[in-house]
Chains A and B, each alone.
Chain A
Amino acid sequence: MTTTELALIEVRELKVQFDARRSDGGKVLLKAVDGISFSIQAGETFALVGESGSGKTTAGKAVLQITRPSSGSVRYAGQELTTLKGRALAKARAGMQIIFQNPFSSLDPRMSVGAIIAEPLRLAGKFDRAARHKRVVELIERVGLPRSALDERPTNFSGGQRQRIAIARSLAAEARFIVCDEPLSAIDVSLQAQIIALLQEVKREFGVTYLFISHDLGVVRFLADRIAVMYLGTIVEHGPAEQVFTAPLHPYTRALIAAVPIPDPHIEQQRKGKLLIGEIPDPTSPRSGCPFASRCAFAQARCATEVPLPQQASVGREVACHFWRELPAPLTFLPARDAGNRIS
């Protein structure tokens, strides 16, 4: 297990619940995040993966206290955030940033790009005008945009360029920890690699730690050191990324990996019929037992009645499945990273 004293982020038994209405008008409690725990070491990239409705985005926002948790603990650099408010929270949260999924709505269209990047510097009050301008120019160039971009509005830029602006803004705020919430989903596949490369460079140069939230497992395999797989607000599997990809333990993890398309017609046209059936259920509908049981190919009677608790499978690896030891070999087999061939 990870040593908690060194963790930059420490999340324990985090719950986020909302009052929601059913379609028949009745009131229900929506358990978006239902008791998750994980820690992120400084310098690490930790990924939360799962389908939409898994609670991964809510979990990311709850870590930042953008959405306040219903219960549980979030510590950043040792300090508890859930009990803080106002100025004390703002102070404790300095250094935490988020890059949103939709760069078309997350940048203020009335501000110039230069003003957007300068804002955190201005608020910090550490720089005079000239020093601020110098820093903003450095940052815009660092993220691969021309200096002339500073005078323009965000609306003049493509999805990928806007994410570059968002990254520059995070760097201006001297981010140590950045939540990246599906940062690539508004970008063409062909241009995603540029942004991934930039995120990697930023991590190395500025010593940033990422919480990377994504449903794209190809990208996650490339970027993440450790991952947690979420389903209906719970973590079903948790461990070092390479281990989870090469030897997934939970049936849901296996199904997610198997659903990722591979750009090779020989492989793709042969693997039809091994699909995960159905969709993630309505989180407000009552359930007992394993949240994944209704879609699981290996579910047994016990799964419908008894909630599986996380079990330690090996060092740093947890799985919440009654039968993980008894499952047949996975349908997909991914080669380990070092065995990767580099023929292009």
Chain B
Amino acid sequence: MSQPGTPAVLEMRDLRIRYHTAAGKVIQAVNGISLRLERGEVLGVVGESGSGKSTVGLAAMGLLPFEARPAAEGELRVRNRLLAGMSAAELRAMRGTDIAMVFQDPMVSLHPQLTVNKQIVEVLEKLSGHKDKAHRQRATELLRQVGIAGPERVAQAYPYELSGGMRQRVMIAMAIAGEPAVLIADEPTTALDVTVAAQIVNLLLELRQRLGMAMLYITHDLALLAGVADRIIVMYGGRIVESGDIRDIYARPQHPYTRALLGSVLRIDRPTRELRPIPGSPVDPGNLPAGCAFAVRCPERMDRCTLELPMPVNIGPGHVAACWRLVPVNDRGPV
């Protein structure tokens, strides 16, 4: 929950991002997102493909595609500094020290022809602004911190010689080199086996403790997120449809979309022959409807839903959802 007075390390207010495709189509990727991330907190961002969840992460890093930048509206602050006015040099200085990111596929982010050691040393040079013999040793130390056994050997390896899990550990080592206040983790375990995914999640949580780092954890996997986040936001069509404390949302999901998402997961501990798929496809951010974006797939749809956009209402302590079926707590009258 956001407490007034505590400074947020990452803050978004009514963030809107849209861009034009080569075909001239307008993609409304993010349509009014507000969130606060406090020091040391893990905020989970859940959504399907096209929900805008990855765009939110890229925006926080100042890494939006060029064509999306002029159209970004709203406020985005990292450690209380507004991103909008920053120069390219200021943005570069911010990345790594204030905020860093880990992606789904480390093979894309790592340079294939450089050893692990070289790549980490490059990051350290960028962070410190100079070359230093001590960087080599610091690189090995970072590899040890991310749980790599035999860091000296791995430092000399090329990315293709490492497993997916090891590559992700290397990416994490590079991301934490500057001890950032915020780590954006965008599907960091999606390409990994469940066993290795569990190890990576544990590592991230351990680093968060040790470094006091806040995390924005972006995923489509609600099962995995249950062990990671303190609070979550559920995104659909570039908007937040529900947000709140993780235990609240999993135990008492209020938005039909959140309920459908939780219902569609095949739980290994719930041996049932029942299958509850969400019908239809995720909404196309290039073709958003006027009303609630989930309405066409919603089992609880009313006429109003397709015509008017529901506004977020307070439905409990720190628990907010945007659905016409919900009644705000203050309007419920005396109990």
Q: Given A188-B49, A189-B264, A256-B194, A263–B250 Cβ distance below 8 Å?
A: yes
Q: Given A189-B220, A261-B221, A340–B202 Cβ distance below 8 Å?
A: no
User: Of B193, B196, B227, B281, which contacts A261 at CB under 8 A?
Assistant: B227
Query: Would you call B198 and A261 a contact (CB within 8 A)?
Result: yes
Q: Chain B residues near A200 (CB, 8 Å)? A: 275
What's the least CB distance linking A25 to chain B, in Å? 13
Query: Would you call B271 and A276 a contact (CB within 8 A)?
Result: no
The 8 A CB mask of B177-203 against A (1 = contact, 0 = none) is 000000000000000011111110010
Query: Would you call A259 and B195 a contact (CB within 8 A)?
Result: yes
Q: Given A51-B195, A265-B226, A337-B272, A190–B267 Cβ distance below 8 Å?
A: no
User: Of A257, A259, A340, which contacts B270 at CB under 8 A?
Assistant: A340
Q: Chain B residues near A339 (CB, 8 Å)? A: 271
A257 to B250, CA, bound (A): 22
- B83 an interface residue at 8 Å Cβ cutoff? no
User: Of B193, B260, B274, which contacts A51 at CB under 8 A?
Assistant: B193
Query: Would you call B271 and A219 a contact (CB within 8 A)?
Result: no
The A/B interface has a contact count, at CB < 8 Å, of 157
Q: Given A191-B48, A279-B165, A336–B271 Cβ distance below 8 Å?
A: yes
Query: Would you call B227 and A219 a contact (CB within 8 A)?
Result: no
A245 to B271, CA, bound (A): 10
What's the least CB distance linking A193 to chain B, in Å? 4
Q: Chain B residues near A266 (CB, 8 Å)? A: 247
- A342 an interface residue at 8 Å Cβ cutoff? yes
Query: Would you call B246 and A222 a contact (CB within 8 A)?
Result: no
Which residues of chain A from 129 to 171 have any CB-CB distance to chain B below 8 Å in the complex?
158, 160-161
Which residues of chain A from 232 to 268 have any CB-CB distance to chain B below 8 Å in the complex?
242, 245, 255-257, 259-268
The 8 A CB mask of B224-247 against A (1 = contact, 0 = none) is 111110000000000000000011
Query: Would you call A190 and B260 a contact (CB within 8 A)?
Result: yes
Instruction: Select the residue from B161, B202, B271 with max chain A CB neighbours within 10 A.
Output: B271
Query: Would you call A334 and B269 a contact (CB within 8 A)?
Result: yes
What's the least CB distance linking B265 to chain A, in Å? 5
Query: Would you call A218 and B265 a contact (CB within 8 A)?
Result: yes
Query: Would you call A221 and B220 a contact (CB within 8 A)?
Result: no
What's the least CB distance linking A246 to chain B, in Å? 8
What's the least CB distance linking A98 to chain B, in Å? 22
Instruction: Select the residue from B161, B266, B278, B282 with max chain A CB neighbours within 10 A.
Output: B266
Q: Chain B residues near A337 (CB, 8 Å)? A: 271-273
User: Of B250, B262, B272, B278, which contacts A340 at CB under 8 A?
Assistant: B272
Q: Given A222-B275, A340-B272, A215–B223 Cβ distance below 8 Å?
A: no
Instruction: Select the residue from A200, A268, A342 with max chain B CB neighbours within 10 A.
Output: A268
Query: Would you call B223 and A261 a contact (CB within 8 A)?
Result: yes
A293 to B98, CA, bound (A): 43
Q: Chain B residues near A335 (CB, 8 Å)? A: 269, 271
Instruction: Select the residue from A23, A216, A261, A341 with max chain B CB neighbours within 10 A.
Output: A261
Assign chain B's interface to a size class: 35 or more
A260 to B161, CA, bound (A): 27
Q: Closest B-chain residue to A242, C-beta based? A: B271
Q: Chain B residues near A123 (CB, 8 Å)? A: none
Query: Would you call B271 and A268 a contact (CB within 8 A)?
Result: no
A199 to B166, CA, bound (A): 34
User: Of B198, B261, B268, which contacts A190 at CB under 8 A?
Assistant: B261
Q: Chain A residues near B277 (CB, 8 Å)? A: 191, 193-194, 196-197
- B112 an interface residue at 8 Å Cβ cutoff? no
Which residues of chain A from 172 to 190 have any CB-CB distance to chain B below 8 Å in the complex?
188-190
Query: Would you call A262 and B195 a contact (CB within 8 A)?
Result: no
Q: Chain A residues near B198 (CB, 8 Å)? A: 259, 261, 275-276
What's the least CB distance linking B299 to chain A, in Å? 11
A263 to B44, CA, bound (A): 13
What's the least CB distance linking B269 to chain A, in Å? 5
Instruction: Select the residue from A161, A193, A266, A342 with max chain B CB neighbours within 10 A.
Output: A193
Query: Would you call A268 and B226 a contact (CB within 8 A)?
Result: yes
- A91 an interface residue at 8 Å Cβ cutoff? no
User: Of A215, A267, A334, which contacts B271 at CB under 8 A?
Assistant: A334
Which residues of chain A from 212 to 238 have any CB-CB distance to chain B below 8 Å in the complex?
215-219, 221-222
What's the least CB distance linking B203 to chain A, in Å? 10
Query: Would you call B196 and A51 a contact (CB within 8 A)?
Result: yes
- B326 an interface residue at 8 Å Cβ cutoff? no
- B222 an interface residue at 8 Å Cβ cutoff? yes
Q: Closest A-chain residue to B263, C-beta based? A: A344
A336 to B273, CA, bound (A): 12
Q: Chain B residues near A106 (CB, 8 Å)? A: none
Q: Chain A residues near B220 (CB, 8 Å)? A: 188-190
- A52 an interface residue at 8 Å Cβ cutoff? yes
Q: Given A190-B261, A267-B226, A275-B199, A221–B268 Cβ distance below 8 Å?
A: yes
A308 to B163, CA, bound (A): 27
What's the least CB distance linking A261 to chain B, in Å? 4
Q: Given A261-B221, A265-B246, A191–B276 Cβ distance below 8 Å?
A: no
The 8 A CB mask of B112-123 against A (1 = contact, 0 = none) is 000000000000
- A272 an interface residue at 8 Å Cβ cutoff? yes
Q: Given A158-B49, A267-B226, A262–B246 Cβ distance below 8 Å?
A: no
The 8 A CB mask of A34-76 against B (1 = contact, 0 = none) is 0000000000000000011100000000000000000000000
Query: Would you call B202 and A272 a contact (CB within 8 A)?
Result: yes
Q: Chain B residues near A242 (CB, 8 Å)? A: 271
- A269 an interface residue at 8 Å Cβ cutoff? yes
A329 to B195, CA, bound (A): 20
Query: Would you call A342 and B272 a contact (CB within 8 A)?
Result: yes
> Across chains A and B, which 3 residue pairs bring their CB atoms closest together, nearest first?
A268-B227, A193-B277, A337-B271
Chosen A-B contacts, 20 in total, with CB atoms closer than 8 Å, are A51-B193, A158-B49, A188-B48, A191-B48, A215-B194, A219-B266, A221-B266, A245-B271, A256-B195, A262-B223, A262-B226, A263-B222, A263-B223, A265-B227, A268-B227, A275-B199, A275-B202, A279-B165, A337-B273, A344-B259
A51-B195, A262-B268 are known contacts; what are 8 more A-B pairs with Cβ within 8 Å? Answer: A52-B164, A52-B193, A193-B275, A196-B275, A245-B268, A267-B226, A268-B228, A336-B271
